[in-house]
Amino acid sequence: MINKKSIEDVEVTGKKVLMRSDFNVPLDGSRVRDDTRIRAAVPTIESLIGRGARVVLASHLGRPGGEPKPELKMDPVAERLAHILSRPVHKIETVVGPEVKKRVAEMQEGELLLLENLRFEKGEEKNDPEFARQLAEPFDLFVNDAFGTAHRAHASTAGVASYLPAVAGLLMKKEIEELSRCLNDPARPLTAILGGAKVSDKLNIIRRFLELADNLLLGGGMANTFLVANGFTLGNSFYEEEMVKEAAELLAESEESGCCLLLPVDLAVTEELKPGASFKNLSPEEVDEGAKAVDIGPETVALFGDIITDAAMIVWNGPLGVFEVPPFDRGTAGVAAAVAGSGAYSVVGGGDLVAALEGLGLTDKVSFISTGGGATLEFWEGKELPGIAALLDK
């Protein structure tokens, strides 16, 4: 059970607060293409300002690799945030140093500052203690709201907590609470749905949910590897040869685990993976040489749908087909419809699955969507995330 202090547990009035957010948003040139992550930070910012704190925001953006890159400056984020909050957001051109100290010292109540891209500094990703000290210097309190970066031990996620009292923001708190529900005393039956490309990326999470869940439904490219482990050939489909043995072991483990593991019973099979391509729904033994299985088929959607309908809690990571190339988004869409109809508490995580649900317009069909990609996976795997571990205990 993770029990960390949040901004609700400490005095913030009059404090100079360094708030780490995840503003790593997609850009179209100098415009923010998707501001979901910026909007997610608003409750924490409003709460801190409302309680009389002086808030200075910081984030990374893209991968500048420790040096300034004009196309990755934080200006588009400052502009969008100012628009969302209807209040001025002043960007500082640097991350640490005299200019930051001066601006923070002169801050007025209700004013918001945004530091330049943290990853313009070499010390950030190295978690250099001297850089972390400089980052902390002008402030009284550190608030970490960047759940999506919590699996990285960087200066602005972990290092800075050696120099300042560190607490969770409201988004970080909510992520921890929602993602923990399926790990600690879940409502049962708990059904886990796992998809995506590679078994090798998801080994730990498959194992974790074999232990935790009552049902484990596998789809996507990684289910192909399991089907090969079960003796099917699957033509020219994507699968991981080097993971077939692991998959066979997991299938054997599932026999003893008390978790019912289900693989696809039919697959959408195409000769050529392109938008609008023709395809057949075939059982795994029917896949021809040269053909590719790129989605789960309708019988599998129905089979998974029955289990989902009976679930009390659902966790889902990874798309169930090559959703980027319609019509091979149908399996993912069909399962999303079943999740929406089940009435169960449902939590969804993983960059590609979230993108798939956004593209399908189905994000409102689930109870909670995690803002983390890799961080969500590591949290569910049971790893300690450095950005959470660094926060003060309750």
Residues designated catalytic: 37, 198, 351, 374
Q: Containing H/E element for 319? A: none
Both tokens of residue 282? 């075939």
Q: Which of 180, 191, 197 is nearest to 379 (CA)?
A: 180
Spatial separation of the C-alpha atoms in residues 24 and 87, rounded to whole Å: 21
Residue 351 touching Mg ion (CB under 5 A): yes
Of 214 and 352, nearer to Mg ion (C-beta) is: 352
Burial string for 3-26 (b: 16+ CB within 10 Å, else e) reads ebbbbeeeebeebbbbbbbbbbbe
Q: Which stretch binds ligand ADP (CB under 6 A): 64-72, 74-82, 253-261, 321-329?
A: 321-329
Phi, psi of 94 (to 5 degrees): -130, 175
Which residues in the 342-371 window bind ligand ADP by CB under 6 A? Answer: 350-353
DSSP state of 33: S
Q: Which does 331 bind (CB under 5 to 8 A by kind): ligand ADP, Mg ion, none?
A: none
In whole angstroms, the minimum distance from the beta carbon of 49 to Mg ion comes to 34
Closer CB to ligand ADP, residue 131 or residue 316?
316
- Residues 239 and 215 sit within 8 Å (Cβ to Cβ): no
- Burial of 165 from C-beta contacts in 10 A (0-12 / 13-18 / 19+): middle
197 touching ligand ADP, by CB under 6 A: yes
- Closer to Mg ion by Cβ: residue 19 or 192: 192
Half-sphere exposure of 334 (CA within 13 A, CB side): 20
Q: Is 201 in the site for ligand ADP (CB under 6 A)?
A: yes
Residues numbered 148-167 forming contacts with ligand ADP, rule: CB under 6 A = none
Cβ atoms of 369 and 34 within 8 Å: the answer is: no
Residue 198 corresponds to which tokens in the numbers above? Answer: 């590679």
Q: How far is the CB of 125 from ligand ADP (least distance, A)?
A: 22
What is the chain's Cα-based Rg? 23
- CA torsion angle 312 190 215 367 (round to 10): 70
**Binding track over 275-304 against ligand ADP, x by CB under 6 A:** ------------------xx----------
Letters for 236-265 (x = contact with ligand ADP by CB under 6 A, - = none) are --x---------------------------
Q: Using CA atoms, how far apart are residues 1 and 180, in angstroms rounded to an integer?
A: 8
Q: Which stretch binds Mg ion (CB under 5 A): 61-69, 252-260, 262-270, 343-351?
A: 343-351
Number of residues engaging ligand ADP in binding (CB under 6 A): 21
322 counts as binding ligand ADP under rule CB under 6 A: yes
Residues that bind Mg ion (CB under 5 A): 351-352
Residues that bind ligand ADP (CB under 6 A): 195-197, 201, 220-221, 224, 238, 293-294, 317-319, 321-322, 324, 350-353, 373
